[in-house]
Amino acid sequence: GAGVSQSPSNKVTEKGKDVELRCDPISGHTALYWYRQSLGQGLEFLIYFQGNSAPDKSGLPSDRFSAERTGGSVSTLTIQRTQQEDSAVYLCASSLETGSYEQYFGPGTRLTVT
Amino acid sequence: SQQGEEDPQALSIQEGENATMNCSYKTSINNLQWYRQNSGRGLVHLILIRSNEREKHSGRLRVTLDTSKKSSSLLITASRAADTASYFCAPKSGGSYIPTFGRGTSLIVHP
């Protein structure tokens, strides 16, 4: 079956613009996660969803970041008024449920803020 | 949630040699997972080891877990150039719904 997909694969935007990143999880996976990976760094947890609910938003770096998930499926990560330090690869993952379940990662969206 | 710390940060070996990577963590865990990330791609799950397990195998991969030392190791035997990647451990604590990732070990296997 299809894996996790993300779009766009690459996004170049000007400082101050808003961007939307999309994640399509594996069908039937109730848990969805967003991570950020800067060059040469590890994965920074941003937010996760169980169904449409986001119990833990503590990883979002600032109030310019928000995310939603609708229909227990597609999720959108929105970054408002982008800054250069937002440049990174944004990775989405899904799993059957939260907890002790393998995460399946998408290929990521590479965001460059100029 | 807690973060795993991989060691070494970088490892360079010749094809055919074994590669060992270590992961340390701070608090009790339910399980620990290892992932691989090839250049420019997403992460791929390798192995999950539960807290009551000491060793697991998958092909050329062997993972050990020592809960008394709060550490895990990933051994890749008879390495291949295609094993070149970054390897991440992701421990998951009982009180957390999510595994968290460290900075990884960058492995280069020279043909």
SS3 letters across A4-32: CEEECCEEEECCCCCEEEEEECCCCCCEE
B18 CA: distance to closest CA in chain A (Å): 24
Give all strands (DSSP E) within chain B, no chain letters.
5-7, 10-14, 19-24, 31-37, 43-50, 55-58, 61-66, 71-76, 85-92, 105-110
Of B99 and A52, which is predicted with more confidence?
A: A52
Whether B14 has a pLDDT exceeding 70, the answer reads: yes
Q: Is A50 on the interface with B (CB under 8 A)?
A: yes
Q: What is the pLDDT of residue A1?
A: 54
What's the gap in Å between the CA of A110 and the closest CA on chain B? 10
B24 and A CB contact within 8 Å: no
- Name the band, by pLDDT with cuts 50, 70 and 90, for residue B5: confident
Q: Please tell me if residue A49 touches chain B, with a CB cutoff of 8 Å.
A: no
- pLDDT tens digits, one per residue of A94-114: 998 766 678 899 999 999 999
Mind listing the pLDDT tens digit for each residue in B39-84?
Answer: 767 899 999 999 999 999 999 999 999 999 999 999 999 999 999 9
B100 to chain A: which residues are within 8 Å by CB?
A: 43, 45
Contact between chains at A42 and B1 (C-beta distance less than 8 A): no
Q: For residue A105, list chain B residues with Cβ-Cβ distance below 8 A.
A: 35, 42-44
A34 in reach of chain B (CB within 8 A): no
In chain B, which residues have their Cβ closer than 8 Å to the Cβ of A41?
103
The per-residue pLDDT of chain B, averaged, comes to 91
Instruction: Give Cα B69 distance to the centre of its chain.
Output: 16
The mean of the pLDDT values for chain A is 92
Residue type, A65: F
Q: What is the pLDDT of residue A82?
A: 98
Q: List the Cα angle A39/A62/A111 in 5-degree steps.
A: 35
Q: Annotate A50-63 with b (16+ C-beta within 10 A) or e (fewer).
A: beeebebeebbeee
**pLDDT the model gives residue B1:** 52
- Give the gap in angstroms from C-alpha A30 to the nearest C-alpha of chain B: 13
pLDDT tops 80 at residue A30 = yes
- Looking at the complex, does the CB of residue A33 fall below 8 Å from at least one CB of chain B? yes
How far is the first Cα of chain A from the last one, in angstroms, to the nearest whole number? 37
A44, A89, A103, A110: best to mutate for the B interface, most B CBs within 10 A? A103
Mean pLDDT of A84-90: 95
Q: Is the peptide bond before B8 cis (omega within 30 degrees of 0)?
A: yes
Does the pLDDT of residue A93 top 90, yes or no?
Answer: yes
CB contact A108 to B (< 8 Å): yes
pLDDT of residue B80: 97
Segment B27-33 shows an average pLDDT of 88
Alpha helices in A3-110 (DSSP H): none
**What is the C-alpha separation between A82 and A24, in angstroms, rounded?**
23
Q: Identify the top-confidence range among A39-43, A48-52, B55-59, B92-96.
A: B55-59
Which is higher by pLDDT, A57 or A11?
A11
**Weakest-pLDDT range from A61-65, A104-108, B84-88, B95-99:** B95-99
Q: How many A/B residue pairs have CB atoms within 8 Å?
A: 57
